[in-house]
Chain A
Amino acid sequence: MFGLRGSSRSRVALAGALGVGLVFSLAACGGDKSDDSSGSTDTAAAAIDCSQFSSFGDLKGKTVSLYTSIVTPEDTPHKKSYEAFEKCTGVTVKYEGDKSFETQILVRAKAGTPPDVAYVPQPGLLQQLVATGKAVEAPKEVADNADKFFGKDWKAYGTVDGKFYAAPLGANVKSLVWYSPKDFKDKGYTVPTTLDELKQLSDKIAATGAKPWCAGIGSGDATGWPATDWVEDFVLRTAGAETYDKWVKHEIPFNAPEITAAFDAVGGYLKNDKYVNGGLGDVKSVASTTFQDAGLQILEGNCSLHRQASFYAANFTKGTDISENGDVYAFYLPGKDATTKPVLGGGEFVLAFADRPEVKAFQYYLSTDTWANEKAKVSSGWVSANKGLKIENLKNPIDVLSAKILQDPNAQFRFDGSDMMPAAIGSNAFWKQSTAWITGQDTTTTVNNIEAAWPKK
C-alpha cells in the first residue's frame, strides 16, 4: 500500500524541495510582531525630580520588561505614568499585558524566562513565585519607601518568610455599598455608620414593601466570588481582624463558630426573602444574576443597596452621574461601631526577577509617592494605598472615596481572603459552596464542606 513507482521518486524529492521553499517563504511573511512600545510623547511629562535616580548610575539605552494582567484600556494610563521615569533615566519600559497572566507567570518563572518585573495581584501567587527561587528581593531603597509610604499590613503582604520582595502598587476597596444619593434624599434615608444602623436601614426600606438589596454572585466559571467577599467583610466585622488572619491561614478551621456566625450574618441579608433581590427575583436569583447586572437595579429604582468593590463604577453606563449627590455613589460598609474601620480590598505588588540597576530604579520609581501622583493624574478608576498620594490629584469621586478610606488612620486593611487561601479553597470550594449555600444549602453543611476540601499537609 505504500507503493511508489521508481519513476515517481524524483517527483517526491521535488515535492520535498518545494515544501522547504514554501515553508521558507511562509516564515519570511510571519515572524516579528509589530513593536508598539509606549512611545507616545504627547503628554509633556510633568517635571519630576530626576536626581533621585542618580544613585542607580547611567541607565541610558537600557530596557526593563514588564509583565502584568492589566490590559487595554487600563494599560494606557500605566504606560503614561512611566514617561517621566523614561525621560529622566533614558530607560525604556517594555509593557506586556496578558489576561492569562496568573497562570502564565508561574509557567514563565518555572521555565526560567521570567520578565524583569511583574505586577502580582495576589499575595498567594507572590509566595508561589518566590518559591520558584527566581524572584529577587526588593532593593533597600524600595524597602525604605514601603516603610515610608505604606502601612505595615501592606508591607507584610509583600514579605515572604521574613524577606521583603514586593512593594504595593495599586489598590481597590471592596468594603463599599453602592446606593443612590438622590433616592436616599427623596426618601429621607441616611447613610449608616454602624452595622446595626445598616440593619435598621434595611428593615426600614423593607417595611415600605420594597426590596432593599440587590445582589448577584454570577461570574461565569468564577460564580460565587462576590458571596465570598460578603463573608470576608463580615468575618472582619463580627469576629475581628485577628480572627480573620487566623482563618485565612487556617489556624482556625473553616467551620469554626466565628466563621459560621459570619456566614449567618451574611445570610441575614443575602438569604433573607424580605431583603433580596430587588428587581431580580427571589433569594435564588442571587446565584443566577451576574454581579455586573445586579447593581444596575439601583438605577431602575428596584433596590437601594448593592455591596460591591470600588471597581464596580465601571459597570454603570457612560453619562451616569457617579458622585456624592448624583444618581449613584457608594458608602463605606460600616464596622461594628463607628470607631473600628476594617477595610477589605485587593491590590497588586511589584515583583522583580532581575537585579540590574535599571530594574531597581524602576522598582524604586513605582514605590515612590512621585509615581502614585503621576499615575493619579492620568487615570480614572485607580487608587493606591500610598500615603503620599495626594487626594486632590484624583478626579473620580469613587477614587477619592477609596483613597480616603485607605488613608483613614483607623483603617485596618485586610487583603481579600479567598485570594490568599490555597486555590482548592480560595478559587474552588469557597466559591462553589457559597453558590450552593445561596440556592438553599444550610450554613453548617457549607462550612463543613469547605473545611473538608482544605488541602491536607
Chain B
Amino acid sequence: MLSALLLFAAVLGVILFLASRVRGKRSDTMIGWLYLLPVVLLLAVGLVYPGLRTVYDSFFDAQGVSFIGADNYKAIFTDGDLLSVLGNTVVWVLIVPLAATAIGLVYAILVDKSRFESFAKALVFLPMAISMVAAGVIWKFMYEYRPDQATVKQIGLINQIIVWLGGEPVQLLITDTLKLNTLLLIVVFIWIQAGFAMTILSAAIKAIPDEIVEAARLDGVNPWQMFVRITLPSVRTSVVVVLTTLAIGTLKVFDVVRTMTGGNFRTSVIANEFYSQLIRADNQGLAAALAVVLFVLVIPIIVYNIRQVRQEA
C-alpha cells in the first residue's frame, strides 16, 4: 500500500517536473504527450494487453494448455444451454434500453414544469441509488412464492395480489414459459435504469430554446405534434446517448441475475455465464470466448454512439 502510493507520487512528481522543464516552439504538444504517457501506458498494460490475451486464451482448452481452435465459439453457438444464454441476452438488450428510455422520456415530459417536479423525479431516481445486488434482493421478495395452504401465508407482494384476485400463487422465478422469469428480471433492471434515462432526458428537454416552443405554440400544434416535431428532434442526441449507454450496461448485466436466480432456470446471461465458467467451472477457454463475444457485441453500439454524437457536433 505504502509503496504503491510512493510510486504514484514519484511518477506524478517526475512527470510534472519534466513538464515544467519543457521549452520551445512545440512545447504544448510535448507537454500534452507527456501527460498522456501514463494513461497510454496504463491502458496498454491494463486494457489492451488483457484484451488481446483474452482473445488468445479463447482458442485454448479449459486449463489454457492445449490449442483447440474455435471449439469454444462452436460450443457457444451450438450448445443448448449456451444458446439460451445468448437468447436471453438478446431479449435483455432489445427490451431494457427501449423500455427504460421510453419510460424515462415520457415521465420527464409529464413532470416537466409541474408543481411537484423535483419530488416526482426523486421518486424515479431513487432506485439508481440502490446497488443492483440490493435491488435484486428486494425484488426477490416481491416475487417470493409460498404454497396456497391454510397455514401458509404469502410473503411476496405479487403472489399476494394474485391470491387476493382469487388466483393460484405462481413460482414466478422458476417459470420459464414465454421467458417469464427473464422478463421479471428485466423489470428490475428497468426499475433501476429508468431514473438515469429520465434525468438525462429531462435536462435535454429543459435545454430546448423557449422561442422554438413558443413559435410552435403560435402555429397551433397539438401536444402530439409538439412531441414528434419539436421535443423528440431536439433531444435526439440525448436519446441516442441514453439508448446506447443503457444497451452497453444491459449487455454487461450480472448482479441482478446472479442475486435473483444465480442463472438457474434458464435465466443466465453472457456476463453471468462468463463468471460461472471462469470461477466455478474452472473453464478458462470458454470464459474467455464468452468475454470476447460480449466485447464484439458492444463494439457496434459504441461505434453507433460515437458517430451519432459526432454528427451533431
Q: With the chains together, A1 CA to B28 CA distance in Å?
A: 8
Report if A319 contacts B (CB, 8 A).
Answer: no
Q: Which of A9, A422, A429 has the most CB of B within 10 A?
A: A9
Interface residues of A in 388-423 (CB under 8 A from B): 422-423
Interface size class of A (residues with CB under 8 A): 35 or more
Report if B38 contacts A (CB, 8 A).
Answer: no
Given contacts A12-B20, A17-B13, contact A285 B147 (CB under 8 A): yes
Report if A112 contacts B (CB, 8 A).
Answer: no
- Decide: A285 and B171 in contact? CB cutoff 8 A: yes
Interface residues of B, CB < 8 Å — how many? 44
Distance to closest chain B CB from A33 (angstroms): 10
- Decide: B264 and A287 in contact? CB cutoff 8 A: yes
- Decide: B152 and A19 in contact? CB cutoff 8 A: no
Residues on A with beta carbons closer than 8 Å to the beta carbon of B17: 13, 16
Interface residues of B in 249-290 (CB under 8 A from A): 258-259, 262-265, 276-277, 279-283
- Give 1 or 0 for each of B82-102: 1 = CB within 8 Å of chain A CB: 000000000000000000000
Identify B173's interface contact among A2, A221, A288, CB under 8 A: A288
Stretch at the interface among B1-9, B110-118, B297-305: B1-9
The chain B residue sitting closest to A217, CB to CB, is: B264
Identify A19's interface contact among B16, B20, B146, B173, CB under 8 A: B16
The chain B residue sitting closest to A432, CB to CB, is: B264
- Decide: B31 and A4 in contact? CB cutoff 8 A: yes
Q: With the chains together, A173 CA to B151 CA distance in Å?
A: 33
Report if A15 contacts B (CB, 8 A).
Answer: yes
Residues on A with beta carbons closer than 8 Å to the beta carbon of B8: 23
- Decide: B9 and A13 in contact? CB cutoff 8 A: no
- Give 1 or 0 for each of B57-71: 1 = CB within 8 Å of chain A CB: 000011000000000
Q: With the chains together, A213 CA to B167 CA distance in Å?
A: 26
- Decide: B171 and A281 in contact? CB cutoff 8 A: yes
Residues on A with beta carbons closer than 8 Å to the beta carbon of B145: 281, 285, 288
Mostly helix, strand, loop or mixed at chain B's interface?
helix
Residues on A with beta carbons closer than 8 Å to the beta carbon of B265: 287, 435, 439
Distance to closest chain B CB from A243 (angstroms): 25
Interface residues of A in 249-284 (CB under 8 A from B): 277, 279-282, 284
- Decide: A427 and B16 in contact? CB cutoff 8 A: no
Report if B149 contacts A (CB, 8 A).
Answer: yes
Report if B77 contacts A (CB, 8 A).
Answer: no
Report if B109 contacts A (CB, 8 A).
Answer: no
Report if B12 contacts A (CB, 8 A).
Answer: yes
- Decide: A223 and B35 in contact? CB cutoff 8 A: no
Report if A220 contacts B (CB, 8 A).
Answer: yes
Report if A3 contacts B (CB, 8 A).
Answer: yes
- Give 1 or 0 for each of B11-31: 1 = CB within 8 Å of chain A CB: 011011101100000001101
Distance to closest chain A CB from B81 (angstroms): 8
Residues on B facing A (Cβ under 8 Å): 1-2, 5-6, 8-10, 12-13, 15-17, 19-20, 28-29, 31-32, 35, 61-62, 81, 145-147, 149, 151-152, 171, 173-174, 258-259, 262-265, 276-277, 279-283
A-B contacts, 15 of them at CB < 8 A, read: A2-B32, A4-B19, A13-B20, A20-B13, A23-B8, A24-B6, A26-B5, A27-B2, A281-B147, A281-B171, A288-B145, A423-B280, A428-B276, A428-B277, A435-B265
Taking A221-B276, A282-B147 as known contacts, 14 extra A-B pairs with beta carbons closer than 8 A to each other, sorted by chain A number, are A2-B35, A12-B19, A16-B12, A16-B17, A16-B20, A24-B9, A103-B279, A223-B264, A279-B151, A284-B174, A285-B171, A287-B174, A428-B277, A439-B174
